[in-house]
Structure 1
């Protein structure tokens, strides 16, 4: 698997996010209050809202446009809403974060 360095975990506040632009689109990298890091596509499956501008709570993010809640673990919309965003493997090595480019390229095919 090819890993693409995206910065340090300290670049993302607790319960925060940052957007990483890749050739295959924008990826949201999220840090939970428990210091876990997840990466998913940065658009809500509902109307394409920027998930990195949403509120992170537990292992989920709430879209800022219409309050859809998306699981950071699975990419699935939670509750009564239906939809999914792609999850991206993320690696944390002593605070240095990387995402798996290979999965991005395979999904773009």
Structure 2
């Protein structure tokens, strides 16, 4: 029995082909919804497992996205970094019906809400002082 409550997010046409759209949440970092050249749709936390780069700003190729900060390759199917890199970003359940994209409401409310984007540069040094 599937108890998922699906939340409508956008139309598939609202997501650029080979691109992404960000979905803000009440708690936690945004979710990035990606669309491949074959109109497959995937959803990951908008945070690279390496240095926290915004994956929604990366380049989609096949079923992967290249992080815009350091070019790490992250699998859209599972959030796993490609070897030799290591790490994983949380994946969200997504479905598309009649052109409408849905995310699991429970996952949106609870999954990875404790993760933050790392602070880099001068702001990091100030925060540590």
C-alpha distance in 1 between matches for 2:5 and 2:47 = 23
Name stretches of at least 5 consecutive residues in structure 2 with no aligned partner: 115-129
1:10 to 8, 13, 37: 13
Let me know the Cα RMSD of the aligned residues.
1.3
CA contact (8 A) 2:25 2:109 kept: no
Count the aligned residue pairs: 109
Structure 1 position 102, deviation (Å): 1.1
Equivalent residue number for residue 27 of structure 1:
31
1:69 partnered with 2:73: yes
Equivalent residue number for residue 101 of structure 1:
105
Name stretches of at least 5 consecutive residues in structure 1 with no aligned partner: none
Tell which structure's C-alpha radius of gyration is larger.
2
Which one has the bigger strand percentage? Answer: 1
The residue matched to 1:70 in structure 2 has which SS?
Answer: strand
Runs of 4+ displaced beyond 4 Å: none
The residue matched to 1:103 in structure 2 has which SS?
Answer: helix
C-alpha distance in 2 between matches for 1:7 and 1:15 = 16
